Amino acid sequence: MKKINLKLFTAVIAIISVLASSCEKECGYASAPPPQISLRLKDAQDRNLLSPTTPGHYDVEFIQKENKSLVIYNYNLSADSGLTIVINGTFAGERTTFLKLSQADQDTIYTKVSKTQTKCASIYTLETVRYNGATITTSGTYYTVRK
């Protein structure tokens, strides 16, 4: 059996510990995950089309069943007005997502995400969001689509 030089082993462990802690202090493990797309579907009267109280609303259960890669989340737990479609973020590049809202209504969402590499992390920036070919912009935390 080979003998382990205890002093050398201790020195290697100490060096690794110093390097790991200096990286943590310098960077703080800052990283930005790929951005998610939060969509609110509204009618002409500014009512949420995911809310069952809105005339002509979409069936949330159908949407979730047909679109496995998204989640419907309620940002306003006291009312259905907060119902929002959340599409998981994508890494750098272009992505087209097909959103089936009903048997007769399938929409297309195009996203373009850029990646910036810093010393400590990868930062993903959502550059473009198009809904059925039209560029849409955020109103804070979500994108609003008029249907």
Distance CA 81, CA 53 (A): 9
Let me know if residue 21 belongs to a domain. Answer: no
Q: What digits encode the pLDDT tens for the residues 110-136?
A: 989 888 888 777 888 888 899 999 998
User: Number of structural domains, the chain?
Assistant: 1
Does residue 2 lie in a domain region? Answer: no
19 is a domain residue: no
- In this structure, is residue 91 part of a structural domain? yes
Q: Encode 35-62: b = buried (16+ Cβ within 10 Å), e = exposed.
A: bebbbbbbeeeebbbbbeebeebbebee
Whether residue 53 is contained in a domain is answered as yes
Instruction: Classify residue 126: in a domain, yes or no.
Output: yes
The domain of 105 spans 30-146
Interval 81-117: pLDDT, tens: 678 888 877 678 898 989 999 999 999 999 898 888 8
The predicted model scores a pTM of 0.71
Residue 11 covered by a domain: no
pLDDT of residue 134: 94
pLDDT of 80: 64
Single-letter amino acid, residue 24: E
